[in-house]
Amino acid sequence: MTLRRTLLATAALAACALIAGPAAAQSAPKLKVGLMLPYTGTYAALGNAIENGFRLYVSEQGGKLGGREVEFFKVDDESDPAKATDNVNKLVKRDQVDVLVGTVHSGVAMAMAKVAKETNTLLVVPNAGADAVTGPLCGPNIVRSSFSNWQPGYAMGEVVAKKGHKKVVTITWKYAAGDESVKGFKEAFEKSGGQVVKDLSLPFPNVEFQALLTEIAATKPDAVFTFFAGAGAVKFVKDYAAAGLKKNIPLYGSGFLTDGTLEAQGADADGILTALHYGDSLNTPRDNAFRLAYAKTYKLQPDVYAVQGYDAGQILGTGLAAVKGDVSKKAEFAAAVQKAKIDSPRGPFTISKAGNPVQDFYLRQVSGKENKVIGVASKALADPARGCKAS
């Protein structure tokens, strides 16, 4: 009985295929895109902005990338590295996605990159700066639309040295993003004769800054350099001002400190200088068009995370167009991406052999709830890609 049913079903399917004809037989299967992002916790707003940006690009392409209609699968990674491998396997093994897009947190992204390598799955990283992703973990199936942690830190180190500051205290969360931002900063700052006199940190995502702010006040450095982002950055900037430090010891940061956060930080952020690959006042036709489309679609202003999500879509679209949607062609995908000039709202950029953007870092100053671009801190800055065999 069961065998008979199966035979009948098979015959029916075959008949359907004949009736539907060659057009149906040729239509490409959907492209399964797995979004692994934080939708809860201190980085929730960042995850949402990335998804918005990515979806905006896909919808501008009529819902298709590489000729295939995009179908989304989602996992909230909670910015929790302990759950990261299980979470990424939900997308790779359970949902069998063709492409992974994620994530925000460096520790989670490293776990994603390891699974992507083991399973040879395409991975586009739309934020996390973990140096290892485009360092020892680099490969033709891994590309980043954002930055390496080293990049904005290094750009800011040069700026702070040029300002004439000699002794600096750093303060950040104790994990890859904080450590590597500080390392990049130190490399540039100390090369120019400055000295980092103290590195302060607290575990991610803690926001009990008081004891550390007291230590900064006692150390009396010329300036402070920091990496914080999301909700933690909002609280840090407010606490720094409330502790009375803002007027005496200038605060510098990689630009995440003040991106997507200015409404909540209010006047406490005014005047802060940061370096980042995006700003609010670029006023180029490309950026203006993007900002208008984003604001119309989401009734929100975009930030750097929205741009990175949008550009993750652009990079994926570029690579998949070259392989006609065939995700198995990793080497051809990578070659196309590395040849391309990505027409980003941030300004055009290229992708290195290690898979990381080579891009300008703007010097920005907070004014009137905007990160105003006041110069270029570092032009066409390339990550050193230490440990990447492809570079």
Is position 229 an interface residue for ligand PHB (rule: CB under 6 A)?
A: yes
Kindly state whether residue 256 participates in binding ligand PHB, applying the rule CB under 6 A. yes
* CA distance linking residue 226 with residue 342, whole number of Å: 29
Query: H or E segment at 143?
Result: strand 142-144
We find the least distance from the C-beta atom of residue 264 to ligand PHB, in angstroms, to be 15
Choices 122-130, 183-191, 216-224, 336-344 (CB under 6 A): range interacting with ligand PHB: 122-130
- Structural contact between residues 367 and 271, judged by C-beta atoms closer than 8 angstroms: yes
Task: Decide: is 129 part of the binding site for ligand PHB (CB under 6 A).
Answer: yes
| Least Cβ distance, residue 27 to ligand PHB (angstroms) | 39
x-or-dash pattern for ligand PHB, window 153-192, by CB under 6 A? ------------------------x---------------
Candidates 127-135, 182-190, 306-314, 352-360; binding stretch for ligand PHB (CB under 6 A): 127-135
**Residues belonging to the chain:** 391
Tell which residue, 363, 359, 381, 379, has the closest CA to residue 371. 363
Output the smallest distance, CB 249 to ligand PHB, in A.
Answer: 23
Nearer to ligand PHB by Cβ, of 98 and 280: the residue is 280
Q: Does residue 50 interact with ligand PHB by CB under 6 A?
A: no
CA distance 295 to 291: 6
The 3-state DSSP class for residue 210 equals helix
Report if residue 144 touches ligand PHB, rule: CB under 6 A: no
| Token reading at 225 | 């350099």
Instruction: Count residues near ligand PHB (CB under 6 A).
Output: 11
Stretch that binds ligand PHB, among 11-19, 28-36, 94-102, 121-129 (CB under 6 A): 121-129
Which residues from 89-118 bind ligand PHB, rule CB under 6 A? 104-106
Residue 378 binds ligand PHB, judged by CB under 6 A: no
What's the count of helices (H) and strands (E) in the chain, helices before strands? 12, 14
Q: Which long-range contacts (CB under 8 A, 24 or more apart) does 373-380 make?
A: 373/279, 373/280, 373/281, 373/282, 377/155, 377/156, 377/158, 377/159, 377/275, 378/151, 378/154, 378/155, 378/158, 378/275
- Give the residue with the Cβ less far from ligand PHB, 129 or 325: 129
Are the C-beta atoms of 345 and 290 separated by less than 8 Å?
A: yes
Residue with CB nearest ligand PHB?
A: 229
Tokens of 70: 């995009």
Of 44 and 337, nearer to ligand PHB (C-beta) is: 44
Least distance from C-beta 45 to ligand PHB, angstroms?
10
Residue whose C-alpha is closest to residue 100's, from 120, 81, 83, 86: 120
Query: Which residues in this chain contact ligand PHB in the complex, by CB under 6 A?
Result: 104-106, 127-130, 149, 177, 229, 256
